């Protein structure tokens, strides 16, 4: 049976030593985030993840959600766990204090989220969707709607969803048909069908608030005519008590490959009362608040599943006796040596560790930049951080979910035949991780967003907020002999990223298909360089050895970072070769030749 240990010590290191929070110094919210406080938060999150949520992970997968006459029942133990989690405040870490939230920074909350997700991804989705809905309402809704909905969302009494996809359209939201008819009291009748609605129906909360994209009669065609509405499952009286059902019906749940304990629903709205969020026909602007946050959250899901798989694989490799070491017996007191002595197993474990810990560092760094975009003292600081986050978000979502699939597959391989058996728990991680590459915009869509929107915006201005700090970092360590093993490979790969950027910019102007064909390779170069940047920064700190972690911890960072530079980062070479070859072979077949 797979074991699980929350990455508490690594998260402490990243927040206390790796992360430079000086950009937000002098702001009380961030000055309060001392190790005395945050270490306790991380330790408690680790405990509840290991003791409360992880024991429900496999049982929830086996039992799944059940559907009967429009009602969804979550697996045994989920309702009790949800009550405990929300009562303890784990579901509202970043929510505004005036609504009853904790008011914590994103970089703290996202570290906690990783532990919760890695222990039980299906369970985490119910709380995660509510935070996304909260963020959109808090930013765009009127004060009256905020007071009506937010306190009960923050307490966990009510939950939230995102309702975008319809049966005839997925990513192309311009095709949405759901209709919102205005009423005399200022509300709207919402009629339409939505599919793939995560946590769209369940038994965990008294009410579910659906954030629905819809069109009003006569609205402009395409995305310019889409508005965003709050549609409660149950109507709400003026005194906030629940009224009658709101003609919101779950017509079925999907039978999925993974995340089986998370209900994925088809939802029908029939003249259901809804309330406009933000401006009419400006729904996409409001929805992107949810979607961008959700994309970062999904990237963290990929990281979390990678950690869960690594946690199980490394324990198994230390215990499972199989063969003898190629360089001589390592455990003469045993009938065989453990798996971990074998180079191939070591390579798999090192790949898992290097990807996972590098991704965690990137998550910490990006989450803090998200905080800077919201809370920095000057408008220029906030704008620059916002543009950096906008640039890196598609890379983060796509590359980390690729890592999730790669690492969870390796975890099965470490177990061998036992990894393929459901009872051992490892194959669930791969099944659960696989959805992350699909929802909140497939990874192909993220790559197109990166090369088609983020790169050309303002003549490539977004790139400078990643390229310039990385270039300065490399230059500052160029003569540092102790760092050369980390700086030289990263410098080469950064040059490849810059070259690929120029090639795509030039070819894409002449033929957009060229940019589209290169998009995934380009995003993956970007992701590898971003992780390389994180590993080089960690190596520099480890060489200084001036922190509070044990010496063995820093030694492991140096060795794992070196493995990343020597064994994983060189993939940028083949990716650049693929980009340089152009997109002709990709587009050359006629449709009837497939």
* Mean pLDDT on 247-273: 98
Distances (CA, A) of 389 to 396, 414, 459, 465: 10, 35, 17, 9
Among the listed residues 136, 462, 450, the one whose alpha carbon sits nearest the alpha carbon of residue 284: 136
108 occurs within a structural domain: no
The model's confidence at residue 317, banded by pLDDT at 50, 70 and 90, is: very high
pTM of the model: 0.97
**Rounded Cα gap, residues 71 and 253, in angstroms:** 10
Catalytic member of 440, 475, 514, 591: 440
Please count the structural domains in the chain: 1
Query: Which residue is it, tokens 């083949």?
Result: 574
Q: What is the pLDDT of residue 238?
A: 86
What percent of the chain has pLDDT above 90? 93
Range of the domain at 555: 442-583
Six token digits for residue 68:
């009967």
Q: Lowest-confidence range among 22-36, 251-265, 276-290, 441-455?
A: 276-290
- Please name the residues in contact with 157: beta carbons below 8 A apart, sequence gap of 6 or more: 205, 206, 207
Asked if 319 is an active-site residue, the reply is no
Instruction: For residue 435, give the DSSP letter.
Output: G
Instruction: For residue 29, give the DSSP letter.
Output: H
Position 528 pLDDT exceeds 80: yes
453 occurs within a structural domain: yes
Among the listed residues 432, 400, 299, 416, the one whose alpha carbon sits nearest the alpha carbon of residue 348: 416
> Exposure string (b/e) for 99-113, b if CB count within 10 Å is 16 or more?
bbbbebbbbbbbbbb
Over residues 181-208, the pLDDT tens digits come to 999 999 999 999 999 999 999 999 999 9
**Rounded Cα gap, residues 340 and 318, in angstroms:** 6
Q: What is the pLDDT of residue 292?
A: 75
Integer distance in angstroms from the first to the last C-alpha of the chain?
Answer: 44
**Rounded Cα gap, residues 509 and 402, in angstroms:** 28
56 occurs within a structural domain: no
Over residues 425-470, the pLDDT tens digits come to 999 999 999 999 999 999 999 999 999 999 998 888 999 999 999 9
User: Which H/E stretch holds residue 143?
Assistant: helix 143-155
**Rounded Cα gap, residues 518 and 525, in angstroms:** 11
- The mean of the pLDDT values for the chain is 96
Over residues 13-38, the pLDDT tens digits come to 999 999 999 999 999 999 999 999 99
* Mean pLDDT on 292-309: 94
Position 174 pLDDT exceeds 90: no
572 occurs within a structural domain: yes
**Rounded Cα gap, residues 310 and 413, in angstroms:** 11
43 occurs within a structural domain: no
- Please name the residues in contact with 91: beta carbons below 8 A apart, sequence gap of 6 or more: 85, 127, 130, 131, 156
Q: What is the pLDDT of residue 225?
A: 94
The model's confidence at residue 546, banded by pLDDT at 50, 70 and 90, is: confident
447 occurs within a structural domain: yes
The model's confidence at residue 244, banded by pLDDT at 50, 70 and 90, is: very high
473 occurs within a structural domain: yes
Q: What is the pLDDT of residue 290?
A: 67
Over residues 108-145, the pLDDT tens digits come to 999 999 999 999 999 999 999 999 999 999 999 999 99
547 occurs within a structural domain: yes
Q: What is the pLDDT of residue 42?
A: 98
Position 365 pLDDT exceeds 90: yes
Q: What is the pLDDT of residue 151?
A: 96
């Amino acid at each position: 049976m797979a074991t699980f240990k929350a990455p508490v010590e690594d998260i402490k290191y990243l927040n206390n030593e790796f992360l430079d929070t000086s950009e937000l110094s002098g702001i009380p919210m961030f000055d309060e985030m001392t190790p005395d406080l945050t270490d306790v938060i991380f330790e408690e999150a680790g405990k509840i993840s290991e003791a409360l949520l992880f024991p429900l992970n496999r049982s929830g997968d086996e039992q799944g959600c059940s559907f009967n006459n429009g009602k969804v029942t979550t697996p045994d133990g989920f309702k009790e766990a949800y009550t405990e989690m929300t009562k303890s405040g784990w579901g509202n870490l970043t929510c505004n204090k005036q609504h009853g939230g904790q008011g914590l920074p994103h970089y703290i909350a996202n570290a906690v989220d990783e532990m919760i997700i890695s222990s039980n991804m299906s369970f985490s989705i119910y709380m995660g969707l509510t935070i996304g809905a909260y963020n959109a309402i808090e930013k765009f809704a009127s004060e009256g709607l905020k007071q009506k909905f937010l306190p009960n969302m923050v307490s966990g009494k009510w939950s939230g969803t995102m309702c975008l996809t319809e049966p005839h359209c997925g990513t192309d939201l311009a095709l949405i048909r759901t209709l919102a008819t205005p009423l005399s009291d200022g509300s709207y009748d919402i009629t339409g069908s939505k599919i793939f609605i995560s946590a769209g129906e369940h038994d965990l909360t008294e009410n579910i608030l659906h954030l629905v994209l819809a069109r009003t009669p006569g609205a402009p065609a395409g995305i310019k005519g889409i508005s965003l509405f709050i549609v409660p499952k149950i109507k709400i009286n003026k005194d906030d008590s629940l009224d009658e059902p709101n003609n919101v019906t779950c017509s079925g749940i999907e039978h999925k490959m993974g995340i089986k304990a998370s209900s994925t629903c088809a939802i029908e709205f029939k003249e259901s009362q809804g309330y406009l969020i933000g401006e009419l026909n400006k729904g996409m602007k409001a929805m992107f608040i949810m979607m961008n946050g959700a994309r970062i959250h999904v990237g963290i899901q990929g990281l979390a599943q990678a950690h869960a798989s690594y946690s199980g694989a490394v324990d198994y490799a230390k215990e499972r006796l199989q063969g003898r070491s190629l360089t001589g017996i390592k455990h003469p007191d045993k009938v065989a040596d453990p798996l971990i002595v074998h180079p191939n197993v070591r390579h798999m474990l090192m790949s898992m560790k290097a990807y996972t810990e590098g991704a965690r560092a990137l998550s910490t760094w990006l989450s803090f930049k998200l905080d800077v975009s919201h809370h920095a003292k000057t408008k220029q600081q906030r704008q620059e951080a916002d543009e950096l986050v906008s640039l890196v978000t598609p890379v983060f979502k796509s590359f980390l979910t690729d890592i999730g699939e790669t690492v969870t597959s390796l975890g099965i391989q470490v177990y061998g035949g036992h990894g393929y058996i459901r009872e051992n728990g490892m194959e669930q991680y791969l099944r659960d991780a696989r959805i992350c590459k699909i929802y909140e915009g497939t990874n192909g869509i993220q790559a197109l967003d990166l090369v088609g929107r983020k790169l050309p915006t303002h003549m490539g201005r977004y790139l400078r907020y990643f390229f310039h700090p990385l270039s300065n970092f490399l230059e500052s360590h160029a003569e540092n002999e102790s760092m050369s093993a980390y700086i030289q490979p990263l410098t080469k790969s950064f040059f490849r990223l810059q070259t690929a950027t120029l090639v795509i910019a030039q070819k894409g102007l002449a033929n957009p298909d060229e940019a589209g064909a290169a998009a995934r390779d380009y995003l993956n170069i970007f992701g590898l360089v971003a992780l390389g940047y994180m590993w080089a920064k960690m190596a520099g700190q480890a060489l200084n050895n001036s922190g509070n972690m044990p010496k063995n911890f820093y030694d492991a960072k140096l060795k794992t970072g070196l493995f990343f530079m020597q064994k994983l980062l060189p993939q940028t070479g083949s990716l650049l070769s693929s980009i340089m070859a152009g997109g002709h072979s990709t587009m050359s077949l006629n449709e009837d030749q497939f």
